[in-house]
Structure 1
Amino acid sequence: MNCFPCCNKNTQEKATSRKSLRKSLKDYHDKYHDKKILASFANISFKTDSSRHRYITEEINKIGKGNITATIFSYRELCVATSNFNPENMLGEGGFGRVYSGKIEGTNQVVAVKQLDRNGFQGNREFLVEVLMLSLLSHPHLVNLVGYCADGDQRILVYEHMVNGSLEDHLLDLAPGRTALDWNTRMKIARGAAKGLEFLHEAANPPVIYRDFKASNILLDKDFNAKLSDFGLAKLGPTGDKTHVSTRVMGTYGYCAPEYALTGQLTAKSDVYSFGVVLLEMITGKRVIDNSRPTEEQNLVTWATPLFRDRRKFTLMADPLLQGNYPLKALYQALAVAAMCLQEEASTRPLMSDVVTALEFLATNNTEEEGGGGGGEDDNINPEEQ
């Protein structure tokens, strides 16, 4: 693999592992998924936000063709589960609405209940996409959809409860007294999130473009395993001889790939760019857009780009909260991966499978002495040389 020479030592082993992975994914899809089911998203029709519960149910039954296993909850059941959406049970709030912790009566299953803002952006289309995507696509690094509610004008999604919240909570919104993530945990999370994207891009058929990859959408379980959540903006990727999908520009400012932001032409490489942004946030501890910082540091990618060219400054990019406790070569290689993902030209960015391979190497080979010192010339790896 030309992009990441650090991994070439185990080429045969990796090839065997990748072949096994691809076979297992293929077997999974041959057994559980019909290509036509997911492909029918392309022809899905959507009504206005005044659509009723019956229409939502009809669409899910039509496209899911009996493959939807998510439970249909009544609004009353979810009121009971969340103690009438008690503010004390609120886990978080965003542009989509509020998320509450809850416990399903009868099973005592602890869940996260996302009540979509009825006046917000996420209407019937996004609600349906999320229900269908998470029902038809199952993977250890995608959050599990327990069920949903579409009573009247209520649009509520019920997920497995991820006890460690989001990556943003542990990286960009660090509460006072909370310990910063160590280097190995950051690489573990990066690897898991990358595997989620790899599954969407290279195993789903047709491929799925996530379109909203960011720290707040990466959820963490009790062991800090990463799972992608919030699929309302996901799109089916190009198939056949098509090179891209044309769509209105959606997502979060700072994470969107430049070619997508300019033209609305969406490809899997758009997700790769967003992954590079988040990986850079994980390495530096800085938010991609932060107007509270000095002018030259407010845009993380703009600040980092010239530093990628000077290996002597690589250690300046490490999160100060790491206190120098990271393997030096791993830092350089992680920066190399981020730099490749953030290439201006989409065609020069790696595939997510290549990113996963590189991160597998980093997550399992952190055996050298830790420390953020300078290191010799042979220890430095310039991202621009990858």
Structure 2
Amino acid sequence: MNIESHVIEKGMLAKSASRIMSTIPTNIKNNALLSMADALISRKQEIYDANSLDMKEGKSNGLSASLLDRLLLTEDRIKSMSQGLKEVALLDDPIGEVVRMFTRPNGLQIGQVRVPLGVIGIIYEARPNVTVDAAAICIKAGSSVILKGGKEAFNSNMKIGEIISAAAEKAGLPKGCINLIETTEREAVNKIMTLNQYIDVLIPRGGAGLINAVVNNSTVPVIETGVGNCHVFVDESADFKNAIDIIINGKTQRPAVCNALETVLVHTAIAKDFLPLLYKSLCNNSVELRGCEKTLKILPQTIKAEESDWENEFLDLILAVKIVDSLDEAMEHIYKYGTKHSEAILTKDYNNSQRFLKEVDAAAVYINASTRFTDGSEFGFGAEIGISTQKLHARGPMGIKELTSSKYIIYGNGQIR
């Protein structure tokens, strides 16, 4: 395979399809999404077989348990992908929505309407469900998509892509609306990042290495999705039971995702009473603690935290714990080590909660709730393309509206300037 020619061909197909996609009626897009959902279920055995190959290779290559969990496709996960397509079909179509309309003194009527981005390129790692989520949300947003998954999920992605592409085309969408790069070679990623002629925006979804590589090397405009070094600050007025439940949920439900909890900051006034209770619950959930020097005095069995632990996205059953003297110290720690993804305060103090909301700079800031809610589905957006941690165009969970642009339409009756 000539990789450069292959990528360019996919770009040309996507660009051609994008012109048709921008005018496709809502009902055809919705019918295509429902057909894709049904196809995943009717051909699930093919997906299992492809995923088994990826799992076998992943184990042979020494993938961690958390990465293998992200890679695994079970019956429930395939049903969830299918259901996600159906949920996107139920969402309002943003294309053509009038954002605003106003009349100038000279009689010109000026409107701003939502339009598709065009061709969206997505580079992602070992989660094959992203193939479905990304395709669904791009289709509903009236764009075509080029998908480049990680080598760990290559067989799964190829099979899923084959299934949903065929279903979409059979339902009336243009050939090339869903495109998968059919190679694991790094050269393909490098080419995608310079395909300005065909790709309108590029979205990396994965770990820090992938995101930084795309941000630093792409000539195609990038929407940066974020590494999730997420914190919870347990204030001195926090309810202990709620705090422990929230921390356990944030760390253990799915430790390998970007909205999982990585660091707990505990107010010194409650540390002696709170930390032993937290430690017991974490041990019951097989979580390894890495604590500051003050934490070690209360929990001497804890591993001493290194400087790198404060900035690390563990993506595993590992949790850093630090005792702080004040809300200000907690926010300073988050400012220094956070990745502007999701941050939470657990408190009964209204003033502290409002200061935290106002002063912490992140895509999602919580009071008395788990950071695990930073998710398009949980926010009611349907499937998401990722969590944007930048401030331009989109921030937070990127749903359908975040994958649109706008244009101005002007009605006149002979006005000249």
Higher strand share: 2
> Normalised by the size of structure 1, how large is the TM-score?
0.26
> Normalised by the size of structure 2, how large is the TM-score?
0.25
Larger Rg over CA atoms: 2
Q: Which has the higher contact order (CA 8 A, sep 6+)?
A: 2
